[in-house]
Structure 1
Amino acid sequence: MPVGEWRSEWFRGGHLVLDFVNTVPWRLDAERAADRLPDAGALIGWCCAAGLFGEQRADELRAEAEAEAVPGRALVVAERARGLREELYGLLQPVAVGREPPAAELGRVRQAIADAITHAEIDTVVPLRWVVAVRGVEDVPRALALSAWELLQFEDLARLRQCQDRGCGWLFLDRSKNASRRWCSSADCGNRTRARRHHARHRDDSRPPPETSSGTSR
Structure 2
Amino acid sequence: MAYQPELIGGHVALDLLNTVSWRLDPTRIVDRIATPEALAIWTAAVGLGTEPAPYERVAAVREVVYDVVLPVARGMGPGDLHELQRLLVAAMGRATPTALQPLDWPGVDPVDELVLAAGRLLEREDLSRLRECQDGDCGWLFLDRSKNASRRWCSSGDCGNRARAKRHYQRTRIGSEA
TM-score (norm 1): 0.75
Q: 5 Å matches for 1:67-106? A: 77-103=54-80, 106=81
List alignment gaps of at least 5 residues for structure 2.
none
Q: 5 Å matches for 1:4-153? A: 5-7=3-5, 10-53=6-49, 58=50, 61-62=51-52, 77-103=54-80, 106-134=81-109, 140-153=110-123
153-162 vs 86-95, which moves further: 86-95
**Which structure has greater helix proportion?**
1
Instruction: Give how far 1:37 is off.
Output: 1.6
List alignment gaps of at least 5 residues for structure 1.
63-73, 135-139, 209-218
Identity %: 47
Aligned residue pair count: 178
| Partner Cα separation in structure 2 for residue 45 and residue 101 of structure 1 | 30
Listed one character per residue, the Cα deviations across residues 137-162 of structure 1 (whole Å, up to 9, x for unaligned) are xxx32121011111111011110001
| Partner Cα separation in structure 2 for residue 99 and residue 109 of structure 1 | 18
- Tell me which stretches of 4 or more aligned residues in structure 1 moved more than 6 Å: none
| Partner Cα separation in structure 2 for residue 41 and residue 157 of structure 1 | 32
Listed one character per residue, the Cα deviations across residues 137-195 of structure 1 (whole Å, up to 9, x for unaligned) are xxx32121011111111011110001111221110000111111111111221111011
| Partner Cα separation in structure 1 for residue 4 and residue 89 of structure 2 | 30
